[in-house]
């Protein structure tokens, strides 16, 4: 790389460091706020200890996978130095993802009590500012670490950076998927168990301190929605940069390694603007305030990125050292429009998701109204809402991808790069997106601490209820944007996969003319089989995640029931429930359930690729991407609508708390909990993990496919071993009962 381009990358690295400094500044502001009463502090400490204990145990469990994958990556073909760099930065990506998740958990468990105290003593605006600044810390840390990691790789490895970055992205995605699945199982098992026994059976409020699952529920908000989602958005950021840099080198040459870094660096600057602009106006709904900040920062990002494109890129492809010297068009215009596509996509999804899940919008209000006729109609209406909204979101994402394809004017490499650039454009808003997401669980926890302590009432309690409802919508919005990012990244990685195949075919110079495993036409039966398998894996993954929540929630239900039955003093308020037992149950169960979904994500592409060939593996990825976007949006929006319809009833509509309508929406919410907070969000890292695994193994598949006959035996052996591992993992998962023991239902029946 030229000295000037290296200088630009150094500037990007410095902006990344500045983003981390802003995160430290916001953190100091959050921690300077009051913690409220001693009772509130005591509850907050219990949540802090539970969340830290869970994540520490989870990281010890995941370290085994990380060390194993580190060694396997080094065994893949390629130059020894590059292979070592790829394995090393796999560890860096995993460590950064873990650090972001831990930071999100650590700060949110300290901010929740401060939000509750601010609502009690100062009013809505200070409470909202503390909650959003907490998200700002995690958002700026996400931007800073993602940019810093990518910039260091480019500075160190230059033209070999794309290969090394595969490891960085894979480490981030793999750990994020595990944290998403484990945290999602933890939080929703506790939430479902608390709701079913507390609200439905005992008729007590959501965060009543007499419910033994309340501390676990509050812990779960932090390890799932804060730690898990923060890691998820970080890996989205990292993987999108990986895809953009891999394709950028092929399309734009040196400039293709630099421009995808400049765009998110601008986003880091505008994220600070968006966080500072989040100041509610008198009488303004909190969601309106947050949306306005998002749109302003997005518009500023679009303008600055266009200026950067025209200042940095030349006006013809002939002046670039990529492989498109004879292509017509202006690289500056194409890059600017692609960035704008991504930013507009983020804005549309923000509006679309808010429309389907917001408490002030007709779809969710209609779901709430169906509570008058019972839980069945609540579930049916929420299910239908999710299915319908998934279509619109998928079409919007498809339109953005197709728009970038048209910009390429016939060049597949250029089209794929522009799709990746659109993804980096979407990620210019990631700092604000992470802040929006973290705002949700912090507000939810603040309300829980306020209710458990009994020290916040009147206007303060109403403020926290409002912020919690806003947080439900912002969480749904960020899930929608994360899904869009996942699809753009997966589409770009799909191009990286094809590029890896073509490069390896040129290297081995084998004759593939008669080998059907290299066919890519969808009409080829073996490719169509790959599409079907890819779609099926998304369904299986979702089913495993939801079933895991059901098993863990069943254990929570029996434990909470047991405590109520054996200690009458709990309901009387004279004794304290054993909160720690429920925390231990969901910790054990969520960690036990981690292996099966993770093995499925890693082993399925290996089984298809080595067993059926590169063509069916391409079909597999296409099927997984298409099904994944529809499934993820469906699950997220159904769950968000059920949750907010419950909020509407709890605010006094259709009979209010304690009514039959309230019971109906609680049941709908418990169905939606694993939808929106476990299975749905975990699909995002799932499809990126599968794409990255495919990119990594593509050279080995090609070299074995065109080699000697003995390679076929080895190739099929690898595929069979992968299938056996998947089958064994699913079988082992299915052996665990939905309840904690066969004797439990009998004991419950006897007690009745």
Taking only the tens place, the pLDDT of each residue in 583-614 is 888 888 888 777 788 888 889 999 999 988 88
Question: Which H or E run contains 391?
Answer: helix 375-407
Q: What is the mean pLDDT of residues 162-187?
A: 84
Q: Residues for the chain: how many in total?
A: 752
Evaluated on CA atoms 28, 129, 138, 465, the torsion sign reads positive
Distances (CA, A) of 77 to 86, 147, 163, 610, 704: 12, 28, 11, 15, 11
415 Cβ contact list (under 8 Å, min separation 6): 404, 405, 406, 407, 408
At 519 the pLDDT is 55
Q: What are phi and psi of 267, to 5 degrees?
A: -60, -35
At 395 the pLDDT is 92
Q: What is the mean pLDDT of residues 654-662?
A: 84
pLDDT at residue 748 above 50?
no
Crossing angle of helices 286-312 and 124-157, in 10° steps, is 30
At 741 the pLDDT is 43
Buried b (16+ CB within 10 A) or exposed e, 587-626: bebbbbbbbbbbbbbbbbbbbbbbbbbbbbbbbbbbbbbb
When pLDDT is cut at 50, 70 and 90, the band that residue 457 belongs to is confident
When pLDDT is cut at 50, 70 and 90, the band that residue 232 belongs to is confident
217 vs 212: CA distance, rounded Å: 10
pLDDT at residue 352 above 70?
yes
Listed range (3-7, 9-13, 383-387, 706-710) with the worst mean pLDDT: 706-710
Q: Which of these, 187, 170, 304, 166, lies nearest to 247 by C-alpha position?
A: 166
With a pLDDT cut of 70, the percent of the chain lying above it is 93
Q: Which of 30-34, 246-250, 358-362, 585-589 has the highest mean pLDDT?
A: 30-34
List the chain domain ranges. 3-509+517-745
When pLDDT is cut at 50, 70 and 90, the band that residue 366 belongs to is very high
Mean pLDDT (the chain, rounded): 83
Q: Do 121 and 100 touch, CB atoms closer than 8 A?
A: no
Q: What is the mean pLDDT of residues 275-291?
A: 80
Q: Which of these, 396, 418, 395, 422, lies nearest to 406 by C-alpha position?
A: 418
At 378 the pLDDT is 92
Q: Do 161 and 257 touch, CB atoms closer than 8 A?
A: yes
When pLDDT is cut at 50, 70 and 90, the band that residue 18 belongs to is very high
How far does Cα 15 stand from its chain's mean position?
Answer: 24
Q: Which of these, 732, 565, 696, lies nearest to 73 by C-alpha position?
A: 696
Task: Please count the CA atoms within 13 angstroms of the CA of 146 that sit on its side-chain side.
Answer: 37
DSSP state of 373: G
Structure tokens at 648: 């509407």
Q: Do 426 and 243 touch, CB atoms closer than 8 A?
A: no
Q: Which of 372-376, 445-449, 681-685, 706-710 has the highest mean pLDDT?
A: 372-376
Long-range contacts of 732-739 (CB under 8 A, 24+ apart): 732/596, 733/544, 733/547, 733/548, 733/593, 733/596, 736/551, 736/592, 737/551, 738/547, 738/550, 738/551, 738/554, 739/551, 739/554, 739/555, 739/558
Reduce the DSSP state of residue 14 to 3 states and report it: helix
Q: Which of these, 133, 101, 103, 110, lies nearest to 230 by C-alpha position?
A: 101
Q: What is the mean pLDDT of residues 695-718?
A: 78
pLDDT at residue 443 above 90?
no
At 752 the pLDDT is 34
When pLDDT is cut at 50, 70 and 90, the band that residue 382 belongs to is very high
DSSP one-letter string for 336-372: HHHHHHHHHHHHHHHHHHHHHH-TTSHHHHHHHHGGG
When pLDDT is cut at 50, 70 and 90, the band that residue 21 belongs to is very high
Q: Do 251 and 263 touch, CB atoms closer than 8 A?
A: no
When pLDDT is cut at 50, 70 and 90, the band that residue 49 belongs to is confident
Q: Do 273 and 297 touch, CB atoms closer than 8 A?
A: yes
The residue that leads in pLDDT, 607 or 435, is: 607
619 vs 519: CA distance, rounded Å: 10
Q: What is the mean pLDDT of residues 385-397?
A: 91
pLDDT at residue 314 above 70?
yes
pLDDT at residue 442 above 90?
no
Q: Do 97 and 235 touch, CB atoms closer than 8 A?
A: yes
The residue that leads in pLDDT, 102 or 76, is: 102
At 745 the pLDDT is 42
Taking only the tens place, the pLDDT of each residue in 125-144 is 888 888 888 888 888 888 89
411 vs 331: CA distance, rounded Å: 13
Structure tokens at 600: 């499925």
Question: Which H or E run contains 637?
Answer: helix 614-650
At 743 the pLDDT is 40
Q: What is the mean pLDDT of residues 711-732?
A: 88
Taking only the tens place, the pLDDT of each residue in 176-194 is 888 888 888 888 888 888 8
pLDDT at residue 737 above 70?
no
Taking only the tens place, the pLDDT of each residue in 661-691 is 888 988 888 888 888 888 888 888 888 888 8
Q: What is the mean pLDDT of residues 492-515?
A: 67
At 532 the pLDDT is 93
Q: Which of these, 376, 479, 485, 512, lies nearest to 425 by C-alpha position?
A: 485
At 709 the pLDDT is 59
When pLDDT is cut at 50, 70 and 90, the band that residue 516 belongs to is low
Taking only the tens place, the pLDDT of each residue in 540-582 is 999 988 888 888 888 888 888 888 888 888 888 788 888 888 8
- 10 Å CB burial of residue 410 (0-12, 13-18, 19+) is exposed
With a pLDDT cut of 90, the percent of the chain lying above it is 16
157 Cβ contact list (under 8 Å, min separation 6): 82, 85, 163, 164
Q: Helices in 122-213 by DSSP H: which ranges? A: 124-157, 161-194
Q: What is the mean pLDDT of residues 387-392?
A: 92
């Amino acid at each position: 790389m030229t000295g000037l381009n290296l200088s630009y990358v150094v500037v990007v690295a410095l902006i990344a460091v500045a983003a981390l400094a802003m995160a430290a500044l916001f953190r100091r502001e959050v921690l300077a706020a009051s913690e409220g009463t001693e009772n509130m502090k005591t509850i907050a400490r219990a949540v802090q200890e539970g969340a830290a204990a869970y994540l520490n145990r989870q990281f010890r469990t995941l370290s085994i996978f990380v060390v194993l994958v580190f060694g396997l990556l080094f065994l893949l073909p390629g130059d020894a130095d590059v292979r070592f760099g790829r394995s090393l930065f796999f560890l860096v990506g995993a460590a950064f993802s873990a650090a972001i998740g831990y930071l999100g958990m650590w700060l949110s468990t300290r901010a929740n009590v401060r939000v509750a105290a601010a609502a009690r003593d100062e009013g809505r605006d200070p409470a909202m500012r503390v909650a959003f600044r907490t998200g700002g810390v995690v958002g700026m840390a996400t931007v800073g670490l993602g940019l810093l990691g990518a910039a260091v790789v480019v500075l160190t490895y230059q033209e070999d950076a794309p290969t090394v970055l595969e490891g960085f992205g894979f480490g981030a995605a793999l750990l994020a998927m595990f944290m998403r699945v484990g945290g999602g199982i933890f939080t929703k098992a506790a939430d479902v168990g608390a709701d079913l026994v507390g609200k439905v059976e005992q008729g007590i409020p959501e965060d009543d301190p007499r419910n033994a699952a309340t501390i676990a529920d509050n812990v779960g908000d932090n390890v799932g929605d804060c730690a898990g989602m923060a890691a998820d958005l970080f890996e989205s950021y990292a993987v999108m940069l990986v895809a953009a840099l891999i394709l950028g080198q092929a399309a734009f040459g040196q400039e293709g390694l630099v421009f995808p870094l400049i765009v998110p660096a601008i986003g880091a600057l505008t994220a600070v603007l968006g966080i500072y602009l989040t100041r509610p106006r008198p009488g303004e709904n909190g969601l309106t305030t947050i949306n306005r900040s998002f749109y302003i920062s997005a518009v500023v990002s679009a303008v600055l990125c266009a200026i950067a494109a025209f200042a940095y890129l030349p006006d013809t492809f002939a002046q670039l050292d990529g492989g498109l010297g004879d292509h017509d068009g202006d690289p500056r215009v194409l890059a600017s429009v692609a960035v704008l596509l991504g930013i507009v996509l983020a804005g549309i999804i923000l509006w679309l998701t808010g429309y389907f899940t917001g408490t002030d919008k007709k779809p969710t209000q209609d779901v709430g109204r169906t509570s008058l006729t019972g839980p069945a109609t609540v579930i049916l209406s929420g299910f239908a809402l999710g299915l319908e909204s998934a279509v619109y979101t998928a079409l919007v994402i498809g339109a953005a991808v197709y728009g970038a394809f048209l910009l390429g004017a016939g060049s597949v490499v250029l089209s794929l790069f522009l799709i990746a650039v659109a993804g980096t454009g979407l990620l210019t808003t990631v700092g604000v997106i992470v802040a929006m997401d973290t705002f949700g669980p912090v507000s939810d926890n603040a309300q829980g601490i306020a209710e458990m302590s009994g020290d916040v009432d009147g206007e303060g309690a109403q403020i926290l209820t409002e912020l919690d409802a806003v947080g439900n919508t912002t969480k749904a919005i960020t899930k929608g944007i994360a899904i869009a990012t996942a699809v753009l990244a997966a589409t770009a990685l799909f191009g990286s996969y094809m590029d890896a195949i073509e490069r390896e075919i040129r290297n081995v110079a084998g004759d593939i003319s008669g080998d059907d495993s290299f066919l890519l036409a969808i009409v080829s039966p073996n490719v169509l089989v790959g599409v079907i398998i890819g779609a099926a894996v998304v369904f299986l993954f979702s089913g495993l995640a939801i079933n895991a929540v059901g098993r863990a929630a069943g254990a929570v239900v029996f434990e909470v029931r047991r405590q109520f039955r054996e200690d009458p003093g709990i309901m009387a308020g004279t004794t304290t429930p054993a909160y720690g037992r429920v925390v231990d149950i969901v910790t054990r169960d969520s960690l036990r359930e981690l292996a099966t979904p993770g093995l499925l994500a890693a082993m399925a592409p290996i089984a298809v690729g080595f067993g059926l060939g590169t063509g069916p593996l391409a079909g597999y990825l296409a099927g997984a991407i298409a099904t994944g976007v529809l499934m993820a949006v469906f699950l997220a929006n159904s769950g968000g609508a059920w949750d907010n319809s419950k909020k509407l009833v709890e605010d006094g509509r259709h009979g209010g708390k304690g009514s039959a309508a309230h019971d109906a929406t609680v049941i709908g919410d418990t169905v939606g909990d694993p939808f929106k907070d476990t299975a749905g969000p975990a699909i995002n890292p799932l499809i990126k993990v599968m794409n990255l695994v495919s990119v990594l193994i593509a050279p080995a598949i090609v070299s074995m496919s065109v080699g000697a006959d003995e390679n076929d035996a080895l190739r099929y052996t690898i595929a069979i071993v992968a299938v056996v591992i998947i089958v064994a993992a699913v079988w082992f998962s299915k052996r665990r009962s939905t309840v904690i023991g066969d004797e439990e239902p009998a004991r419950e029946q006897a007690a009745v």
